[in-house]
Amino acid sequence: MPVHRINGIQLHYEEHGTGDPVVMVTGTGAPGRMWRTHQVPALKAAGFKVITVDNRGIPPSDPGTEGFTLDDMAADIAGLIEHLGAAPCRVVGFSLGGIIVQELLLARPELVRAAVLMATSGRADTFATAQAIAEMDLADSGVKLPPRYAAYVNALQSLSPQTLGDEQRLRDWLDIFELSAVDLASVRGQLGLQLIPNRLPAYAAIRCPCLVLSFQHDLIVRPQLTREVADAIPGARHTEIPGCGHYGYLEKPAAVNAALIDFLTAPLADGTPARTHERAGAESRP
Amino acid at 199: R
The residues, any chain, with a CB within 8 Å of residue 145's CB and separated by 6 or more, are 138, 153, 181
Q: Which of 38, 217, 238, 246 is catalytic?
A: 246
Is 277 part of the annotated catalytic residue set? no
Burial of 77 (0-12, 13-18, 19+ CB in 10 A): buried
Count of H-run helices and E-run strands, the chain: 11, 9
- Taking Cα atoms as reference points, which of 261, 251, 262 lies closest to residue 286? 251
Q: Which of 61, 95, 158, 160 is catalytic?
A: 95
Q: In this structure, which long-range contacts are made by residues 171-176, counting pairs with CB atoms below 8 Å and at least 24 apart in sequence?
A: 174/148, 175/151
Is 218 part of the annotated catalytic residue set? yes
Query: Could you tell me whether strands 3-6 and 9-16 are parallel, antiparallel, or unpaired per DSSP bridges?
Result: antiparallel
| Phi, psi for 13 (deg, rounded to 5) | -145, 165
Q: Which of 16, 214, 218, 238 is catalytic?
A: 218
- Taking Cα atoms as reference points, which of 65, 121, 117 lies closest to residue 92? 117
CB 90 within 8 A of CB 23: yes
Is 180 part of the annotated catalytic residue set? no
Which are the catalytic amino acids?
95, 218, 246
